[in-house]
Structure 1
Amino acid sequence: MTRRLAAALAIMGALLLGGCGNDYGIDQNGHKVAAERLDKQWLVLNYWAEWCSPCRTEIPQLNVLAEQLQGKNIGVFGVNFDNVQGEELKGASEKLGIKFTVLAQDPADLFELPRSEALPVTYIIDNKGKVREQLMGEQTAAGVMAKLEALQATN
């Protein structure tokens, strides 16, 4: 009996630990999003929807921001508010001209994000996984960059 219990506990432990530090699902192109792309770095996490007019205006600014942040240990990621998946997610991302990574799997639970009732909404998450800022409404690359710099200065 003790061996069975130990074996069951070992299997459960392996399964639980297997999820730690794992990936974040796939992106809009069906590619795996490895944990190293999000863990231990600052994140700009934007929720958008195809029907959201301010989202459409904001996305080119987020594309600029993503380019400006390359190599700076800060990632720009998107999440579709309507949770569309597969080809529908890819099509919506292309239609809106999104150049940054869109996560097919919503990481809201991982970062304890509240469900926003308005769009667009952007969260700034620090390199420890803590939400540092919730930005409601349309953002600019310069505005988000200034907010990031201010938050990092107080980190």
Structure 2
Amino acid sequence: MGTRFRVVIRTVMGVCAGLILAGCAEDIGVDQHGRKVPAERLEGQWLVINYWAEWCAPCRSEIPQLNALAVQLEAQSVSVLGVNFDGLQGAELTKASQAMGIEFTVLEQDPGARYGLPPSAVLPVTYIVDDQGQMRERLLGEQTAAGLAARVQALRTGG
């Protein structure tokens, strides 16, 4: 009976440890709505990460293209993410995202270090990150949904 009790205790401890670790899963941060963005949501996904600012005219005209791209590529394991160039957070980020008409996820924290993205002094800038978390391309200037979709597809097939 002592051996059986130890097995039960070990099992219970293992389950508890697993639950504790699962609760500590790494987050990328929060989005423009204050919701946590869990890392596992983006793992295994290709990412299109766009840096924008309210004062950037090309950024303003690019946003509808990125909204369309997010919908178009969602079923293909591609996520479109935005990052405010000026580092807005909380209510300011929410307000700016709404003013820009952004429908895709905007990260409050800059994921540049996580994905090895080189800083850019030029806007807009868009990075394509592969499903292994490696930056594959840096695109300067205004992009279109068709151009980005084609570029992601080419990179996925080795181009």
Return the alpha-carbon distance in structure 2 between the equivalents of residues 50 and 37 of structure 1. Answer: 27
Segments of 4+ moved more than 6 angstroms = none
> What are the superposed Cα offsets for residues 106-140 of structure 1, whole Å, 9 maximum, x if unpaired?
01111111110100000000001110010100000
Instruction: Give secondary structure in 1 for the equivalent of 2:98.
Output: helix
What number of residue pairs does the alignment pair up? 138
Instruction: Give secondary structure in 2 for the equivalent of 1:24.
Output: strand
Return the alpha-carbon distance in structure 2 between the equivalents of residues 112 and 43 of structure 1. Answer: 13
**TM-score w.r.t. length of structure 2:** 0.83
Tell me what 2:94 maps to. Answer: 90
Question: Which residue among 119, 122, 128 is the counterpart of 1:118?
Answer: 122
Query: Structure 1 residue 37: deviation in Å?
Result: 1.9
Instruction: Give secondary structure in 2 for the equivalent of 1:118.
Output: coil
Question: Which residue among 132, 136, 139 is the counterpart of 2:136?
Answer: 132
Return the alpha-carbon distance in structure 2 between the equivalents of residues 63 and 52 of structure 1. Answer: 17
Return the alpha-carbon distance in structure 1 between the equivalents of residues 57 and 81 of structure 2. Answer: 19
Pairing 1:6-155 to 2, within 5 Å after superposition: 22-154=26-158
Structure number with bigger Rg: 2
Return the alpha-carbon distance in structure 2 between the equivalents of residues 118 and 105 of structure 1. Answer: 19
Letter in 2 for 1:82: D
Structure 2: give runs of 5+ residues left out of the alignment. 1-20
Query: Structure 1 residue 21: deviation in Å?
Result: 5.8
Query: Structure 1 residue 26: deviation in Å?
Result: 0.3
RMSD: 1.6
The percentage of counterpart residues that share the same residue type is 59
Query: Structure 1 residue 36: deviation in Å?
Result: 1.8
Return the alpha-carbon distance in structure 2 between the equivalents of residues 47 and 139 of structure 1. Answer: 12
